[in-house]
Amino acid sequence: MSWVVRAPDRDLEREEKKAYSRVRRVLWDYEPLRASHAEIFIDVVSDNVRLRGRVRTLPQKLIASVLVERMAEVGSVTNELIADPDVVRAVADALAQDERTAAYVVRVDARHGVVSLRGDVATADVQEAAMQIAAVVLVVITVRTQMTIGGDPRPAVALTGPTAAADEPNPVDASGVRA
């Protein structure tokens, strides 16, 4: 995959074409986007720009928006870019909320919407359930499995919260030493 900026969905007016070209150039000049093979759609209507597509990281998503917002010819920016961590979080949440997969440690990785699932599950049915759950998450393009069958379910672990003493300030005596 290489850097991709998709052509606009409609014919642009002269000023919109200029804005589109400048936005494209600004994003192209940002090396992390180019090097990560981001896929970005740029929609321009009047002086409003909408960014859609996929990027590897949350900082890339935020920086793309800021770069475009700083342009004089741009009035507003709508950032609909999807970062891989957003995909990972959405799939992991869906797996954790389903009773068929919640008891297993399934590692989720994503690259431009392609999700890979890893981990040990007890049966082929659990593996299939994980694949189905991940596949219906809206931000997922496709799912690949690298799960192995034969894992045991793990009980949920409840973490205890900090004690009230952890929130109390440590008194300092006159010599500056904490008690």
Average pLDDT over residues 61-72: 94
Whether 19 is covered by a domain: the verdict is yes
Query: In this structure, are 116 and 94 located in the same domain?
Result: yes
Whether 115 is covered by a domain: the verdict is yes
Whether 56 is covered by a domain: the verdict is yes
Alpha-carbon span 82 to 40, nearest angstrom: 10
Residue 1: pLDDT over 50: no
Confidence of residue 59 (pLDDT cuts 50, 70, 90): very high
How many C-beta atoms lie closer than 10 Å to residue 14's C-beta?
A: 7
Tally the domains of the chain.
2
Confidence of residue 16 (pLDDT cuts 50, 70, 90): confident
* DSSP string covering 88-133: HHHHHHHHHHSTTTTTS--EEEEETTEEEEEEEESSHHHHHHHHHH
How many C-beta atoms lie closer than 10 Å to residue 38's C-beta?
A: 26
b/e for 151-161, b at 16 or more Cβ within 10 A? beeeeeeeeee
Domain with residue 109: its CATH number is 3.30.1340.30
Whether 159 is covered by a domain: the verdict is no
Pairing between β-strand 142-149 and β-strand 114-121 as defined by DSSP bridges: parallel
Query: In this structure, are 121 and 78 located in the same domain?
Result: no
Average pLDDT over residues 55-62: 94
pLDDT number for residue 170: 62
Each residue of 157-178: pLDDT tens digit?
A: 555 666 666 566 666 556 655 5
Give residue 32's domain range: 4-82
Cα–Cα distances in angstroms (integers) from residue 145 to residues 61, 116, 131, 136, 158, in the given order:
27, 6, 7, 15, 28
Query: In this structure, are 39 and 77 located in the same domain?
Result: yes
Whether 76 is covered by a domain: the verdict is yes
